[in-house]
C-alpha cells in the first residue's frame, strides 16, 4: 500500500511540476483526517488528485469580501461537474481569512466564504446533504508572510473531499 | 495539577496600630484620574522573618508586593541601597526621619511566620511625611503554596489605600498558549496569575481553542474549540478541569461565547447558512433565543456590568462597527463613528468605558470610548493588536499583540487606560486572547 502511494505521489508531483499555482500537498487544510491522502492518479479524472489539481480545490477572495469572482465561479462549476460525476463523495468546504482582522470577525467571514462556495455548488445541482461548511477564520494560514502576496492565497474556500469509492 | 484556590484559605485580622496617630491635612493619596502622574516613591524593606523557615517567604513576599505596585505604573520603589536605618523589628516605632530623608512617601513593613504549611503575614503601610500609619495593620494567612496570593492581597490593600480605587493584583488570566510556526500553530487553554506566575494548562493542543472568557466569579471559563471538527462553544470548570460542550447541533458553528453577570446566561454567535447572528442561552437548561436577525455579521458580544445591555460588533453598515442593544435583543444603536473598522468591544467592569480593537490605515489599535461612543481614545498602535480585556478595577487593559511576518508571534501586553505603562506580560510561550478574572475571594 505505502509503496503504491509513494509511486502515485511521485506521478502527481511530476505532473504538477509544470503547474505553477497549484499546491498538491496542502497539509494545513485543517480538517484533521477527513481529507483523503494522495487520492489516486492525476491521470484518472475520477481521482481526488484530479479534483484537487486539474479542477482546483480552492477559490480565492478579495479583501474582506465573500463574493465569488468569475474565476472562482469557473472553478466551482468544474467542482460541481466532478461531484455530479462522482456521486459517492461528500465535501467539506473550509472557509479561511487572512490575518488582517480580528479573530472572531474572521471566523464569521470565513463562514461567509465557505457558504458562498456551497451556494454555488448547490446552484449547479450538487445535493445539499453532500456539502458541509466550516470556517477556520485566520487560524490556518497556508502562506505566512505578512503582505498581500500571502494574504491573497490565505483568503480562500477549500473544497475537501471525503468518503468516496475507495473499494 | 495544582489548584491554588482550593488550597488557599485566607485569614484576615486587624492589627493594633503602633504609636500615636498624628493629625494631618489629608490622607496620602495618589490621584490617577487624568493626565501624566509622577509615580509615588515608596520603600519596601524585606519583611521580617519570625523563624528561619519564614526567611525566604519574607524576602519573596516583599518583592512580589513591590513588583505589583511598580508594575501598575503608579509607584516607584526606592532601592534598598538608599536605606539609612535597617528595618529589623515589625513592632518597633518607625523612624520617619530616616525614610523622609530618602523621600520615601510611603513605607511598607511586614513580618512573616510559618507554621507547618501555613504562612502568616502581618503588614503595615505608613504615610512617611505625615508620620502616621495608613489605615490599620492587617494580618493575612494561607498555605505556603499560595504565598504569592497573600502577597498580591497585601499589594491590593496598599494600592487601594493609596489610590482610593480597588486593586487588581490578586487575579488570574485565562488565555490561549501558542507554540509552533505560523502555519502549524498549536493552541491550548492556559491559566496564570495576572503577573504571569503559576501557569497551568487546561486543555491539550489536539484541537484549536479560541477566545476564553471567565465567568463573573472566575470559577468557569467559556471558550470555543474545534474538538468536534467545527468551532463550538464549551464551558470548563477551572477547579475541576472538567469541560462540556454547550451546543451540539451537528456541523453548526458557534463561537464568541460570553457570560452575563448572572453567570448563567451566555450570549454567543451562531452561523447558519453562512450568516452569523447573536443568540443567548441559559446554560443550565440549554434553552436558547435568537437576538439578532440580519444578513450581516453579528459577533464579539459583551454584557454591561448591570446585565441590561450588550455591546457587539456588526458589519451591517458595510464595515465592522460597534452597537449597543438591550440584552433581550431589539433595536441596536451604533456607537462607533470614527474612521476605520471597530471590533471586539468589551464593557468595563466599572461600566464607564467600552474597550475595543480598531483597524485603520493598515494598523491595529486598542482603544476606549464612553459607552455612548464619545471620548474615543486610542491607547496602542501596532501591526496587530486585538482582543482587550479589563483588569478587575477597570484601570488596566490586557490584549494580544502579534508581530509581523513569517516568524510573527503573539504575546500578551498590558496598558493603563491612560495609555501609559504599555508592557509585555510574561508567558512561557506565545500567548493570545487573554481574559482577566475578577478579584479572587
Measure the CA–CA gap between B325 and B338, rounded to whole angstroms.
Answer: 20
pLDDT: which is higher, B146 or B85:
B146
Nearest chain B residue to A147, by CA: B405
Mean pLDDT within B20-41 = 61
B273 touches chain A (CB under 8 A): yes
The secondary element (H helix, E strand) that includes residue B267 is strand B265-272
Inspect the interface and report whether the beta carbons of B183 and A144 lie closer than 8 Å.
yes
Residue A7, in any domain of the structure: no
Inspect the interface and report whether the beta carbons of B183 and A143 lie closer than 8 Å.
yes
- Grid cell digits, residue B175: 488565555
* Chain A nearest C-alpha distance from B252 (Å): 8
Residue A80, in any domain of the structure: yes
Q: Which of B274, B276, B366 to mutate to test the interface with A (most CBs of A within 10 A)?
A: B274
Nearest to B191 by CA among B165, B169, B213: B213
Q: What is the mean pLDDT of chain B?
A: 91
Report strand pairing: B232-237 vs B242-245. antiparallel
Nearest chain B residue to A128, by CA: B273
Q: Which of B183, B211, B231 sits opposite A141 (nearest CB)?
A: B183
* Chain A nearest C-alpha distance from B315 (Å): 9
Q: Is-contact B187 B52, C-beta < 8 A? A: no
Q: Which of B226, B251, B269 sits opposite A132 (nearest CB)?
A: B251
Residues 198-257 of B with CB under 8 A from A: 208, 210-211, 226, 229-231, 251, 253, 255-256
Share of chain B above pLDDT 90, in %: 86
Q: Which residue has the cell 496620602?
A: B28
Instruction: Tell me the residue ranges of DSSP E strands in B74-117.
Output: 75-77, 106-115
Percent helix, strand and coil across chain B, each to the nearest 5: 15, 40, 45
For chain A, residues with pLDDT lower than 70 are 1-38, 164-167
Note the helical H segments in B51-196.
55-71, 96-101, 147-163
Mean pLDDT within B312-331 = 96
Query: Which residues are CB-neighbours of B81 under 8 A, at least 6 positions away?
Result: none
Number of independent structural domains in chain A:
1
Instruction: Tell me: pLDDT of B243 over 80.
Output: yes
Under DSSP, is residue B127 helix (H, G, I), strand (E, B) or coil? strand
For residue B249, what pLDDT is reported?
73
Nearest to A98 by CA among A58, A156, A57, A56: A156
* Chain B nearest C-alpha distance from A43 (Å): 30
Residues 396-435 of B with CB under 8 A from A: 402, 404-406, 408, 432-433
Residue A12, in any domain of the structure: no
* Chain B nearest C-alpha distance from A139 (Å): 8
Instruction: Tell me: pLDDT of B10 over 90.
Output: no
For residue B305, what pLDDT is reported?
98
Neighbouring CB atoms inside 10 A of B172's CB total 25
CA distances from B260 to A21, A82, A126, B38 (A): 48, 48, 42, 38
Instruction: Tell me: pLDDT of B204 over 50.
Output: yes
Label residue B36 by pLDDT band (50, 70, 90): low
Inspect the interface and report whether the beta carbons of A111 and B274 lie closer than 8 Å.
yes
> Residue B291 burial (CB < 10 Å; 0-12/13-18/19+)?
buried
Per residue in B271-319, pLDDT (tens digit) is 999 999 999 999 999 999 999 999 999 999 999 999 999 999 999 999 9
For residue A12, what pLDDT is reported?
37
Q: What is the CATH number of the domain that holds A47?
A: 3.30.1330.60
Instruction: Tell me: pLDDT of B70 over 90.
Output: yes
A119 touches chain B (CB under 8 A): yes
Nearest chain B residue to A32, by CA: B229
Residue A14, in any domain of the structure: no
ipTM of the complex model? 0.90
For residue A163, what pLDDT is reported?
79
Which range marks the domain in which residue A135 is found? 23-162
Q: Which of A108, A110, A120, A140 to mutate to test the interface with B (most CBs of B within 10 A)?
A: A108
Mean pLDDT within B196-202 = 97
Inspect the interface and report whether the beta carbons of A104 and B386 lie closer than 8 Å.
no
Neighbouring CB atoms inside 10 A of A138's CB total 24
Q: Is-contact B254 B224, C-beta < 8 A? A: yes
For residue B248, what pLDDT is reported?
64
Under DSSP, is residue B304 helix (H, G, I), strand (E, B) or coil? coil
Instruction: Tell me: pLDDT of B419 over 70.
Output: yes
Residue A13, in any domain of the structure: no
Nearest to A22 by CA among A83, A88, A75: A75
* Chain B nearest C-alpha distance from A126 (Å): 16
Residue A16, in any domain of the structure: no
Under DSSP, is residue A67 helix (H, G, I), strand (E, B) or coil? coil
Q: Which of A104, A136, A144 sits opposite B299 (nearest CB)?
A: A104
Per residue in B334-385, pLDDT (tens digit) is 999 999 999 999 999 999 999 999 999 999 999 999 999 999 999 999 999 9
Residue A11, in any domain of the structure: no
Residue A5, in any domain of the structure: no
* Chain A nearest C-alpha distance from B183 (Å): 5
Label residue B21 by pLDDT band (50, 70, 90): very low
CA distances from A147 to A30, A107, A156, B184 (A): 22, 20, 16, 19
Nearest chain A residue to B345, by CA: A102
The secondary element (H helix, E strand) that includes residue A53 is none
CA dihedral B221, B227, B229, B232 (to 10 degrees): -20
Nearest to B44 by CA among B159, B160, B166, B165: B159
Inspect the interface and report whether the beta carbons of B211 and A145 lie closer than 8 Å.
no
Label residue B27 by pLDDT band (50, 70, 90): low
Under DSSP, is residue B21 helix (H, G, I), strand (E, B) or coil? coil
Label residue B30 by pLDDT band (50, 70, 90): low
For residue B250, what pLDDT is reported?
74
Amino acid at each position: 500500500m505505502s509503496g503504491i502511494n509513494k509511486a502515485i505521489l511521485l506521478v502527481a508531483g511530476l505532473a504538477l511540476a509544470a503547474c505553477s499555482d497549484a499546491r498538491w500537498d496542502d497539509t494545513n487544510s485543517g480538517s484533521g483526517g477527513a481529507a483523503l491522502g494522495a487520492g489516486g492518479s492525476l491521470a484518472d479524472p475520477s481521482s481526488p488528485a484530479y479534483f484537487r489539481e486539474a479542477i482546483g480545490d480552492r477559490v480565492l477572495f478579495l479583501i474582506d469580501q465573500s463574493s465569488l469572482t468569475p474565476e472562482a465561479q469557473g472553478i466551482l462549476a468544474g467542482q460541481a461537474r466532478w461531484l455530479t460525476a462522482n456521486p459517492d463523495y461528500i465535501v467539506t468546504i473550509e472557509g479561511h481569512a487572512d490575518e488582517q482582522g480580528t479573530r472572531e470577525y474572521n471566523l464569521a467571514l470565513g463562514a461567509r466564504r465557505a457558504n458562498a462556495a456551497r451556494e454555488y455548488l448547490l446552484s449547479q445541482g450538487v445535493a445539499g446533504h453532500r456539502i458541509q461548511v466550516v470556517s477556520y477564520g485566520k487560524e490556518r494560514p497556508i502562506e505566512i508572510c505578512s503582505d498581500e502576496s500571502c494574504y491573497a492565497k490565505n483568503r480562500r474556500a477549500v473544497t475537501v473531499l471525503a468518503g468516496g469509492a475507495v473499494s | 495539577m495544582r489548584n491554588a484556590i482550593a488550597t488557599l484559605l485566607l485569614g484576615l485580622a486587624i492589627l493594633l496600630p503602633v504609636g500615636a496617630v498624628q493629625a494631618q491635612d489629608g490622607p496620602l493619596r495618589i490621584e490617577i484620574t487624568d493626565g501624566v502622574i509622577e509615580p509615588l516613591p515608596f520603600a519596601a524593606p524585606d519583611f521580617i522573618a519570625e523563624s528561619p523557615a519564614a526567611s525566604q517567604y519574607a524576602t519573596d513576599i516583599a518583592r512580589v508586593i513591590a513588583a505589583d505596585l511598580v508594575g501598575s505604573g503608579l509607584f516607584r520603589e526606592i532601592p534598598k541601597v538608599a536605606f539609612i536605618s535597617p528595618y529589623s523589628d515589625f513592632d518597633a516605632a518607625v523612624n520617619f526621619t530616616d525614610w523622609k530623608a530618602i523621600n520615601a512617601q510611603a513605607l511598607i513593613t511586614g513580618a512573616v511566620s510559618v507554621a507547618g504549611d501555613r504562612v502568616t503575614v502581618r503588614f503595615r503601610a505608613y504615610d512617611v511625611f505625615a508620620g502616621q500609619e495608613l489605615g490599620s495593620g492587617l494580618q493575612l494567612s494561607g498555605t505556603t503554596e499560595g504565598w504569592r496570593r497573600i502577597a498580591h492581597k497585601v499589594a491590593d490593600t496598599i494600592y487601594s489605600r493609596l489610590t482610593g480605587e480597588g486593586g487588581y493584583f490578586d487575579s488570574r488570566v485565562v488565555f490561549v498558549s501558542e507554540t509552533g510556526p505560523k502555519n502549524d500553530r498549536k493552541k491550548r487553554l492556559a491559566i496564570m496569575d495576572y503577573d504571569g506566575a503559576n501557569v497551568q494548562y487546561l486543555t491539550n493542543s489536539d484541537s484549536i481553542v479560541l477566545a476564553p472568557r471567565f465567568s463573573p466569579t472566575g470559577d468557569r471559563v467559556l471558550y470555543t474549540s474545534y474538538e468536534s471538527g467545527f468551532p463550538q462553544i464549551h464551558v470548563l470548570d477551572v477547579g475541576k478541569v472538567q469541560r462540556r460542550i454547550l451546543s451540539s447541533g451537528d456541523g453548526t458553528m458557534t463561537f464568541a461565547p460570553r457570560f452575563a453577570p448572572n453567570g448563567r446566561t451566555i450570549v454567543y454567535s451562531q452561523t447558519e447558512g453562512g450568516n452569523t447572528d447573536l443568540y443567548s442561552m441559559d446554560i443550565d437548561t440549554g434553552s436558547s433565543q435568537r437576538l439578532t436577525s440580519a444578513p450581516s455579521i453579528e459577533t464579539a458580544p459583551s454584557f454591561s456590568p448591570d446585565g441590561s445591555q450588550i455591546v457587539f460588533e456588526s458589519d451591517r453598515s458595510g464595515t465592522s462597527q460597534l452597537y449597543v442593544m438591550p440584552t433581550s435583543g431589539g433595536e441596536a444603536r451604533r456607537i462607533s463613528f470614527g474612521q476605520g473598522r471597530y471590533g471586539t468591544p468589551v464593557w468595563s467592569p466599572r461600566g464607564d468605558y467600552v474597550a475595543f480593537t480598531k483597524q485603520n490605515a493598515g494598523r491595529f489599535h486598542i482603544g476606549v470610548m464612553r459607552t455612548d461612543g464619545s471620548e474615543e481614545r486610542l491607547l496602542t498602535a501596532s501591526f496587530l493588536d486585538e482582543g482587550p480585556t479589563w483588569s478587575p478595577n477597570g484601570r488596566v487593559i490586557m490584549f494580544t499583540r502579534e508581530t509581523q511576518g513569517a516568524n510573527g508571534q503573539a504575546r500578551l501586553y498590558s496598558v493603563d487606560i491612560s495609555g501609559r505603562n504599555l508592557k509585555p506580560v510574561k508567558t512561557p510561550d506565545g500567548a493570545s486572547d487573554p481574559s482577566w478574572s475578577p478579584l479572587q475571594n
